[in-house]
């Protein structure tokens, strides 16, 4: 028996059952969900750092979407905030690395 104690996608228990194993799960109370999503976000960031796999970026978006929905927002709202911030402060297309600011 392997212990995980981590947030998983909705179909993971079904996939485990299809593999002939028994998943032991619980439904998180809403007040615990944000902390588990933040842990999941950190996990997905680490996996992307290690693999540089494009699919990991999709996983990051899935977690970000879940965090937005938990706060009562939709992805289009987050996209609008991103667009506004980019218009005000720019994006990362120019690859600028700020080394220091001198007086």
Give me the residue spans of the domains in the chain: 27-88
Query: In the predicted model, is pLDDT for residue 1 greater than 90?
Result: no
Averaged pLDDT, 63-89: 96
Q: Please tell me the distance from the alpha carbon of residue 13 to that of residue 66, in angstroms, as a whole number.
A: 19
Give me the pLDDT at residue 78, please: 95
Band of residue 103 on the pLDDT scale cut at 50, 70, 90: very high
Give me the pLDDT at residue 67, please: 96
Band of residue 47 on the pLDDT scale cut at 50, 70, 90: very high
And the tokens for 70?
């938990």
- pTM for the model stands at 0.87
């Amino acid at each position: 028996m392997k212990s995980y104690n981590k947030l998983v996608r909705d179909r993971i228990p079904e996939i485990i059952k299809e593999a002939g194993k028994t998943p032991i799960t619980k439904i998180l109370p809403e007040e615990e969900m944000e902390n588990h999503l933040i842990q999941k976000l950190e996990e997905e960031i680490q996996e992307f750092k290690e693999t540089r796999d494009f699919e990991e970026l999709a996983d990051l978006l899935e977690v970000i979407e879940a965090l937005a929905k938990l706060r009562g927002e939709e992805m289009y709202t987050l996209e609008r905030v991103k667009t506004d911030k980019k218009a005000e402060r720019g994006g990362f297309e120019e690859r600028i690395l700020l080394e220091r600011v001198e007086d």
